[in-house]
Amino acid sequence: MIMGSPQMTWYLPFWTLPISTTSRYGSHGAFYRYKNSMGKSLPLFYIYDSYLTSPEAWAHLLTPNGPHSIRNSPYDGVFIALLVEEGHTHDILAAGFDGMYTYFASNGFSFGSSHQNWKAVKNFCDANNLMFIPSVGPGYIDTSIRPWNNHNTRNRVNGKYYETALQAALSVRPEIVSITSFNEWHEGTQIEKAVPKKTPARLYLDYLPHQPSLYLQLTRRWAEHFIKEKEQWLM
């Protein structure tokens, strides 16, 4: 989700995504649009695992002079690539994307998800007219589906991990902050309400001793803080 506005990540082949989504939902009032640097309100798409397709192939679609360009067509949009490795910054630029996001909630898991790298990435994006969207999460634990990955577990510390990530994101003055995630329980990144629950196969993590809505409350508080901060940045 985008801070302040729920967002869906669409797991579809890219070439079907802007066409099918915009054709079917584009006229709906709830369809999210973002005003780009040219003043156009366009659909905003996050492209997960974008690095699996070559920059040259993306450029065919996303650069104005590409042989199959969708720029300035009814299917144009704001396209945000996934940043994992440091070298992906230049690939994303060459591919014609409008920006990059970091997705992973585990600080240090990848170059992109490491808070200490966000300032340098933001500087690169600013210098190249790209959006940088840091992704924050409340914690991370996916050992129920990846038993070997315990080294990437990040304890929630009763909300402190989430707030540290949010502070790191706001410190680089982004236009948007994305949240990973609303309800991905299998990776322990959910922020929706949670109560104690146990099944024969799984113990669901809760937020005790805090209220079930702890992370929704923190999200509201930081969203309000983010809005105030952005007003100060523009002064």
Locate the domains of the chain by residue range.
41-234
Three-state secondary structure string covering 191-210:
CCCCCCEECCCCEECCCCCC
- In the predicted structure, residue 14 carries a pLDDT above the cut 70: no
pLDDT tens-digit map of 158-186: 999 999 999 999 999 999 999 999 999 99
- Quote the pLDDT of residue 63: 98
Max CA-CA distance within the chain? Answer: 57
d(CA 189, CA 153): 11
CATH of 41-234, one of 1.10.15.40, 3.20.20.80, 3.10.440.10, 3.30.420.10: 3.20.20.80
Residue 155 and residue 122 in contact, taking contact as beta carbons nearer than 8 Å: no
- In the predicted structure, residue 82 carries a pLDDT above the cut 50: yes
Range with lowest mean pLDDT among 20-34, 43-57, 126-140, 208-222: 20-34
Mean pLDDT of the chain: 91
Please give the average per-residue pLDDT across 49-67, as a whole number.
Answer: 97
- In the predicted structure, residue 137 carries a pLDDT above the cut 90: yes
H/E segment holding residue 46: strand 41-47
pLDDT tens-digit map of 106-135: 999 999 999 999 999 999 999 999 999 999
